[in-house]
Amino acid sequence: MREVLMLRSGRALRALQIAVCAAAGALLAALLPGIPWERWPELLFFTGLATLAFRLRVRYAGNYVGVESAALIPAILLLNSPGAAMLICVVADAISKLLARPRRLRLSNSFDVAQLAISYAAAALFCEALHSAAAGWITTAVLSAGGLLVFFFINTALVFAFLEMSHAVPREKLLEIALFQLAALLLLAPIVILEILVYGPYGPAGMLLAFFPVVLASFVMRSLSTMERRVAEVSRRNKELDAMRDISTSFGVSARIDRYERVFAAVARLLPVEAMAILEWPIGDTDVVAHVSEGSNASRSDVAAWARRARLDERRSDGDEPELLSGDSRDLRLRAGAHYQVRIRLTTFEMQSGLLVLEGSSPSLHGESALGSARAIASHIALVLQDRSVRAQVEKLSQRNRERAETLNQILEISNDLKKNRTLDDLFQSIATAVARSLGFQEVVLSIYDRERNVFSPRAHFGLGERWSSMAGRDVPSAEITRHWTERNRVSKSFHVREASSHESVRSSRNVVDAGEDAWKPGELLWIPLYAEDRLLGCLSVDEPRSGQSPRVEVVRSLEIFANQAVTAIENARSYNEAREQSIRDSLTGAYNHRHFQEVLQRELGRAERVGRPLTVLMLDIDDFKSINDRFGHPVGDAILQGIVAEIRNEVRGDMDLLARYGGDEFALVLPETPVAEAVLVAERVRRRVDERLFRMPDSREVLRATVSIGLAAFPDDAREKKQLVDKADAALYRAKHGGKNAVVATSEPGPGQLPLLPH
């Protein structure tokens, strides 16, 4: 409602100005016939004197001192012609305004001329009505004072109407202005009377001499006015400095919540504003940020939406000149009734950081002084925002550098750790643990690719808990994983899957709190393929970064650096394991060799003694193997050796028992945690399987049978030392061979209470 009233007030103000100008023109036209043109020298003299008086007008204490009365009131009384007085006022005031800058008459300037002309014409009409031919000095004084008072009342009425409609001055200051003008006119009254009295005997020269104190007073007041302006400028600059200090302090030590309120309070102490807004342009992928003062009717979201619609952050300005708006020209209105608005870009030489919007109901907001202060404040806010932005970027860069250095250091440590010789399963677990702890993920799964079966086998994890038991050993078809490895999901050499996946190897059961647009969401996965040159070895899948945010490209690349180290470690471990297997296994049968048998037996004996568990050694020999080689050849003998090893493996525990080739046709078995009774059963099953197997001759339908003899010795019943245990098992084998072959003989027969500890 108040906005509508302000709009109507603006229209009424223009109507008043036009009406006064029209009235002045009509009144002048009506009074022109009464001008004594025959007294043109006096008309020119008073016009020149009035022009000088208008040029001597001084603005002091916020008011204009109307010294032109010292020229126009004598002209009114001496010429006794309202038309002449009005014409002199119009011409002199117009000339004075044309001599000033800018040299043009506008509606506001024309209104000033018109209202003064009407005021002095009214004073002239008043004096003409009371004029007496026998005018003494008393009459002159009375008429002069009366003319000044009439001018004062008419001029004050017109000026007050203008000021009230334009809202240029608060109402409480109108009385102060009126009293100041009245005091100035009363002080001019003696000079006016003196001018009139000396004009008769001394003519224009006497009047100029009487007018001279007005010139002196004008220069004195001009000096005082200059001093006043300087004091006001110093005061304004001090207020600007105070405001800038408060702004700097607000950004330096204030909490984020009240930081901008303190800034708005500092600006409000300096400028006639009722509502303010600060908009900050986005940095990176952030959105426009708006801050509004408490006096604003518009919300932060409304202001930010307006800035986005207007695409203000995309506009770039070469300067910081304020944009002045009022009334209907504002597409953003912060406060109802605040008619005037100023927009200033927050700009430095290096960057444009935002926009400052100020609104108020006083037209002084568009004044030069207010605009100068607004520019200074805007420049300072821009510098503060730039400093904050640079500090944030430097801190962010430093943090990233610290994280990068820490990550690289961790990768180096992990790389050195992965170089240690270890089993593949231990290595896989170390890789999964290192990714989780060093690179910041709560859940990690390492899967190895089987090229022959075209599947991924989960081999190690971190953070899955009970879910791992349902995943371990369950192969995943490669298509279930590689179908996500598309260009749309590619990040560097990895793949970031942002939608829910059907593969459950790392599906999270936790609820992820939404921390913004970049938050890691349920169903997201990051895959890091493990390649050795162009061979796919496997992949790492990671979930739930500890930061709660989707990893940056730098983190992904760090993962890829680590993945390369992991691939090297896996290849080295595989090569080491292959070389080690070749060094401890018999190349023909695949059984362990004699040296490895001795090492394992010594280690298992020590463990059996520590834990108090039994251990049995079996010595196995193929019956009449030499004659088989001599009769059928070594290829047949080799096939029989391989077949017998296969049968033995079917009856022993692959994860605990050790099968070794002890000699040419002799094998040894180490059965940990197995008493002699159980070992006899195992040996008997082996003997029977071999006895029942038929070996087909190469290139022939003829089949061949082979048998084995087995001797057993148990720890601790038969022996406690390795050599004694092997010798006793070998002696039992000797008895089996000489007792008819194809037999099982134990060093000591198992007692009735000896039960097996572990099933075979």
pLDDT at site 185? 77
Token pair 């004029």 is found at 131
pLDDT at site 399? 74
| For the ranges 307-321, 569-583, 639-653, 690-704, the one whose mean pLDDT is highest | 639-653
Q: What is the pTM of this model?
A: 0.47
DSSP 660: E
| DSSP three-state, residue 80 | coil
Q: CA quadruple 20, 26, 30, 31: dihedral positive or negative?
A: positive
pLDDT at site 608? 92
What long-range pairs does 733-737 form, CB within 8 A, spacing at least 24? 733/619, 733/620, 733/621, 733/709, 735/711, 736/709, 736/710, 736/711, 737/621, 737/623, 737/709
pLDDT confidence of 512, banded at 50, 70, 90? very low
DSSP string, 348-376: -SS-EEEEEEEEESSGGGGSHHHHHHHHH
pLDDT at site 313? 66
DSSP 442: E
The closest alpha carbon to 35, from 116, 124, 114, belongs to 124
Per-residue pLDDT, averaged over 228-243, amounts to 73
Q: Would you say residue 377 has pLDDT above 50?
A: yes
All CATH 3.30.450.40 domain ranges in the chain, comma separated: 256-392, 419-582
Cα separation, 541 vs 476, whole angstroms: 13
The closest alpha carbon to 711, from 740, 690, 680, belongs to 680
**Model confidence over 82-116: pLDDT tens digits?**
888 888 888 888 888 788 766 666 766 787 888 88
DSSP string, 119-187: HHHHHHHHHHHH--SS--HHHHHHHHHHHHHHHHHHHHHHHHHHHHHHT-S-HHHHHHHHHHHHHHHHH
Higher pLDDT among residues 369 and 302, named by residue: 302
pLDDT at site 170? 65
Q: Would you say residue 354 has pLDDT above 80?
A: yes
Q: Would you say residue 502 has pLDDT above 70?
A: no
**What token pair was written down for 417?**
């750790």
> Helices (H) and strands (E) in the chain — how many of each?
19, 21
All CATH 1.10.1760.20 domain ranges in the chain, comma separated: 11-242
pLDDT at site 521? 79
The number of beta carbons lying within 10 Å of the beta carbon of residue 447 is 28
Cα separation, 525 vs 521, whole angstroms: 9
The closest alpha carbon to 148, from 213, 67, 52, belongs to 67
Q: Would you say residue 697 has pLDDT above 80?
A: no
Q: State whether CATH 1.10.1760.20 applies to domain 11-242.
A: yes
pLDDT at site 131? 65
**Model confidence over 132-151: pLDDT tens digits?**
544 566 777 777 777 778 87
All CATH 3.30.70.270 domain ranges in the chain, comma separated: 585-746
Q: Would you say residue 671 has pLDDT above 90?
A: yes
Cα separation, 418 vs 408, whole angstroms: 15
| DSSP three-state, residue 684 | helix
pLDDT at site 414? 62
Which CATH number applies to 419-582?
3.30.450.40
Query: Which residues, in sequence order, are CB contacts of 433 under 8 Å at separation 6+?
Result: 444, 462
Q: Would you say residue 5 has pLDDT above 50?
A: no
Which CATH number applies to 585-746?
3.30.70.270
Per-residue pLDDT, averaged over 58-79, amounts to 75
Q: Whole-number mean pLDDT of the chain?
A: 79
| DSSP three-state, residue 116 | helix
Q: Would you say residue 745 has pLDDT above 90?
A: yes
Q: Would you say residue 506 has pLDDT above 50?
A: no
Per-residue pLDDT, averaged over 203-224, amounts to 81
pLDDT at site 501? 46
pLDDT at site 711? 94
**What token pair was written down for 685?**
């099953």
Fold of 256-392: Beta-Lactamase (3.30.450)
